[in-house]
C-alpha cells in the first residue's frame, strides 16, 4: 500500500512548530507494511491543499492529511480536501450527533462549521478533542494536535496494510566515504535496500520484506567493517 502524508499549517513552514506528526505517521505506516512515498507540508490555503491532495489521491493508494481542522479562519483543510475530490463542504449529521451526544456540546455551540465535512465523507470521531476527522476516496483527514491525531489514526490504523518490512542497522566507526565499495557490494550481493546515514558514527541500514536476507546482509557487512565499540 503506497501512502502520501500531507501536513497542513503555516506554523510548520515558518518553523514555529516542529513537524512531529509527519515523523510519527511515517513510522506507524511503515510498521504496518505501507510504503510512504511522499511527505509534503503545505500552507493554510484551500487551493494549495486541493492541488496537492488531488494529485496524491490519484497517484497513491491513500493520502493522510493532518492539521487545519476546526472553526478558525485558517482551518481550511476540509474545504481543500473537498475541492480535491470535487465535493462541497456541507453539514454532516453524524458529526453533529456525535458531538452533541458524546461530546456534550449544545447544538448552538456547533454553528461555527465544526461539523461541516466533505459531502459523502465518513466521519471520524475525535475522542480527545472537538473537530472531527473524515475519510473520503482514500483520503484520511486528521487533526493537527498530536494527541488528537494519534488517537484518531489508531481508530483507522487497521485500514493501512502491507507486507512487513524488516530493518537491521549496523553502526560503523568509519567515514562514509570509506564504506562506498562495501556498500555497493552489499547492495549487489543481497536482495535488500541499503542506506547509510552519517553523523558522529555512520549508521548503515539493511531493509527487505525477507528477514533472512536482512540478517545475512547485516552479518556480512559487520564482518567487513569497523564497528562502534563504545555502546
- 143: domain CATH number is 3.40.980.10
155 lies in the same domain as 173? no
153 lies in the same domain as 190? no
Q: How many domains does the chain have?
A: 2
DSSP 3-state helix, strand, coil percentages of the chain (rounded to 5)? 40, 25, 35
203 lies in the same domain as 117? no
Low-confidence ranges of the chain (pLDDT < 50): none
**Mapping DSSP to helix (H, G, I), strand (E, B) and coil, where does residue 167 land?**
strand
Q: Tell the residue number behind the cell numbers 478558525, with chain if given.
A: 72
Q: Give a yes or no: residue 228 inside a domain.
A: no
Q: Give a yes or no: residue 201 inside a domain.
A: yes
132 lies in the same domain as 25? yes
Q: How far is CA 84 from the centre of its chain?
A: 19
Q: What percent of the chain has pLDDT over 90?
A: 81
pLDDT tens column, 22-35: 999 999 999 999 99
State which of 133, 159, 185 marks the end of a domain: 159
84 lies in the same domain as 186? no
Specify the pLDDT at position 192.
96
154 lies in the same domain as 192? no
Q: Give a yes or no: residue 86 inside a domain.
A: yes
pTM: 0.86
State which of 111, 138, 159 marks the end of a domain: 159
pLDDT tens column, 158-187: 999 988 889 999 999 999 999 999 999 999
For 182, the domain range is 166-222
Nearest to 82 by CA among 130, 45, 120, 110: 120
Query: How far is it, in rounded angstroms, from Cα 140 to Cα 40?
Result: 15
10 lies in the same domain as 100? yes
Phi, psi for 123 (deg, rounded to 5): -80, 140
Amino acid at each position: 500500500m503506497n501512502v502520501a502524508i500531507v501536513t497542513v499549517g503555516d506554523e510548520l513552514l515558518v518553523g514555529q512548530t516542529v513537524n512531529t506528526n509527519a515523523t510519527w505517521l511515517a513510522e506507524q505506516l511503515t510498521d504496518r507494511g505501507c510504503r510512504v512515498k511522499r511527505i509534503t507540508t503545505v500552507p493554510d490555503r484551500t487551493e494549495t491543499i486541493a492541488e496537492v491532495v488531488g494529485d496524491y489521491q490519484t497517484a497513491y493508494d491513500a493520502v493522510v492529511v493532518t492539521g487545519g481542522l476546526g472553526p478558525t479562519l485558517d482551518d481550511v483543510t476540509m474545504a481543500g480536501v473537498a475541492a480535491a475530490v470535487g465535493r462541497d463542504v456541507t453539514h454532516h449529521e453524524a458529526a453533529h450527533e456525535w458531538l452533541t451526544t458524546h461530546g456534550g456540546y449544545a447544538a448552538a455551540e456547533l454553528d461555527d462549521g465544526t461539523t461541516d465535512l466533505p459531502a459523502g465523507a465518513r466521519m471520524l470521531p475525535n475522542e480527545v478533542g472537538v473537530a472531527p476527522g473524515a475519510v473520503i476516496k482514500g483520503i484520511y483527514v486528521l487533526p493537527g494536535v498530536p494527541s488528537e491525531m494519534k488517537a484518531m489514526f489508531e481508530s483507522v490504523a487497521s485500514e493501512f496494510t502491507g507486507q512487513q518490512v524488516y530493518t537491521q542497522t549496523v553502526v560503523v566507526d568509519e567515514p562514509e566515504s570509506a564504506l562506498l565499495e562495501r556498500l555497493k557490494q552489499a547492495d549487489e550481493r543481497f536482495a535488500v535496500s541499503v542506506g547509510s546515514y552519517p553523523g558522529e558514527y555512520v549508521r548503515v541500514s539493511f531493509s527487505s520484506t525477507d528477514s533472512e536476507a536482512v540478517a545475512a546482509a547485516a552479518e556480512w557487512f559487520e564482518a567487513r567493517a569497523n564497528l562502534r565499540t563504545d555502546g
